[in-house]
Amino acid sequence: MKQILLIAGLFFFAKDVRAQFTGHYNALNITGSTNTLKTEIPLAEPSVVGSTYLDDDWQNAEIVLRNGNIIGDLPVRVEIEQTNIEINYKGELKYLDLKEVDCVNLTDKGTGKKRTIRKANEFIFNDIPLQGVVEVHTGKQYNAIKHYYIEFLQANYNVALDVGSKDHRKVKKERLYISHDNKLILAKGSSKKIAGQLGSDKEKALTIIKEHKLNLSKEADLVTFVGLMQP
């Protein structure tokens, strides 16, 4: 009963935002004066396509609220652009703003893989909060952060060459970071360059990278690295 009341109360904060975007226009609209016969059919206005879900499939989740309460065993999908949790609650779709949540612990139904998802703006890069959501791999000194965000790509169709996209697209993008106190270091380029940004921990990091043959720009190696770095 307590869990049901918690869920019902949370949906007060929900935003009914859908993560699939499509638009349909009539390409046969012919414009011009009544004395002019158009010989070409104008292109349809670009629609907006693309999924902004973290995963399109439903996944089991444990939702940890900011007040410490836990709601478990719910099928959810995480929407990146609006940072919503879409919940399938007793056959009805509900929406919960991720700002009301400490984290979402997802479990993939197929693989059993567990992931911890948080709102990205809790993390700062170059003095600017991230947008979207992040997956957090926690270490004792540093964390590995996988950042998911949405990039909007304008339609760029060239009629003469018949190339390009006729639709605007929303595309899911990813970046890897090392975090310390919610400050981020971009995990891109050589491992030596990345380790060089760790200040007094540089030599310790380089030793671990060499001993374990790690490439910090790869997610699996980055997760291994933060697990090996000790305070």
Q: What is the pLDDT of residues 174-185, one digit of tens each?
A: 999 999 877 899
pLDDT interval class at 130 (50, 70, 90): very high
Tell me if 138 is assigned to some domain: yes
For residues 133 and 198, membership in a common domain is answered with no
For residues 123 and 110, membership in a common domain is answered with yes
Tokens representing residue 145 in the block: 């952060």
Residue 147 has pLDDT above 70, yes or no: yes
Write the burial class of residue 47 (CB in 10 Å: 0-12 exposed, 13-18 middle, 19+ buried). Answer: middle
Tokens representing residue 15 in the block: 């935003």
For residues 97 and 207, membership in a common domain is answered with no
pLDDT interval class at 165 (50, 70, 90): confident
Domain containing 65 equals 2-28+42-186
Q: What's the whole-model pTM score?
A: 0.79
Q: Which of 3-17, 52-66, 214-228 has the lowest mean pLDDT?
A: 3-17
For residues 148 and 214, membership in a common domain is answered with no
For residues 182 and 211, membership in a common domain is answered with no
Q: Decide: 43 and 157 in contact? Cβ < 8 Å.
A: yes
State the chain's mean pLDDT as an integer.
84
